[in-house]
Amino acid sequence: MIRAWFVCSSLLAAGAGFAQAPVSAPPLPEPPAAAAPAPAPAPAPRAWGSLSPQQQQLLQNHQGEWNNLPPERQQALARGSERWLSMTPQQRAGAQQRFSQWRAMPPDQRQVLRQRWQQYRSLPPERQQQVRESFNRFRQMPPERRTQLRQQWRQMTPEQRHHAGQQMHAPQPSRHVPH
């Protein structure tokens, strides 16, 4: 869930590739129906004993209810604990901060972020890569420039935002200079 929050907040910060979008920003374009992947098979239940001792310690609050949890939840908790154990102390501190921010959000804002995460995950891999690259470019800008772009974004109409997003990802003509 922390990763979902991070990507969704990244999408909010990136906007159409260069600015922060308000919660009411238009959704990402829907992928064609033919591109939808086949549903994954239901995961098998995970036995408590199959978790490492470190995972069991991390998930000890769930031990009594483990066998009653849906297999999807068991798998998600197991994957989350594996990720947590592989993080550096600095990464863990950042994850805790983001989780605190997530918990402080109103439920409707969380729902918007969940929807945007699902929209992002449904994009083709090359479009996901474009979104990540746009966010990274935005993150590397000086704070004053990011603030300026956010203000510009907030002042745009939904149509202008859509057009700006299209222009950001349109192929650029080569800049060949004749000799």
At residue 170, the pLDDT reads 62
Burial of residue 19, with CB atoms counted within 10 A of its CB: 0-12 exposed, 13-18 middle, 19 or more buried: buried
User: For every one of its 179 residues, what pLDDT tens digit does the chain have, with 9 covering 90 and above?
Assistant: 444 444 444 444 444 333 333 333 444 445 445 555 566 677 788 999 999 999 999 999 999 999 999 999 999 999 999 999 999 999 999 999 999 999 999 999 999 999 999 999 999 999 999 999 999 999 999 999 999 999 999 999 989 888 887 776 665 555 555 55
State pLDDT tens for residues 57-87: 999 999 999 999 999 999 999 999 999 999 9
What is the pLDDT at residue 166? 73
HSE of 100 in the Cβ direction (CA atoms, 13 Å)?
Answer: 6
pTM, full prediction: 0.53
**pLDDT the model gives residue 116:** 93
Question: What are the sequence ranges of the domains in the chain?
Answer: 1-16+70-165
Q: What integer pLDDT is reported at residue 100 of this predicted model?
A: 95
CA pair distance 144, 32, nearest whole angstrom: 38
Give the pLDDT of residue 38.
Answer: 64
* The token pair that represents 94 in the structure block: 């950042």
pLDDT at position 21 is 38
